[in-house]
Amino acid sequence: MNAVTRTLTPRMVIGRSFNISLPIPKLQVFALLFVVLITSLSVVYAKDLNRRLFIDYQTASQVSTELNVTHSKLLLEASSLSAQARVQRIAAQRLSMQMPTASNIKVIDG
């Protein structure tokens, strides 16, 4: 045991009362400090969330731009593949098809 504990008698310890009540101004200061702490943490959280959402927005914007470019390329390719002259050329070369002559065309009235 240390020297301070040996010099205290049980009567001295029992006779003392510890009052832990805080006066109102100190309580208000602690409450304000608590509110400031919570507010500052909220600001940090909001800034972090804003940063993450902005990064997600930028990523989605880049993906959207890439998809629009790909879509435009595919539309151009589809229009070139479905051109009438190309279809006729492939039908004649690969399938040995020919345009019908006037004598081969029959009109049916319904």
Q: pLDDT tens, 87-103? A: 888 888 888 888 888 88
pTM exceeds cut of 0.75: no
> Tell me: the pLDDT tens digits for 2-57?
555 556 555 555 556 666 776 778 888 999 999 999 999 999 999 999 999 999 99
Per-residue pLDDT averaged across 62-66, rounded? 98
In the DSSP assignment, the letter for residue 82 is: T
| Alpha-carbon separation of residue 22 from 34, 45, 47 (angstroms) | 16, 32, 36
pLDDT attached to residue 84:
86
17 is written with which tokens? 């009362």
Q: Dihedrals φ, ψ of 19, to 5°?
A: -105, 115
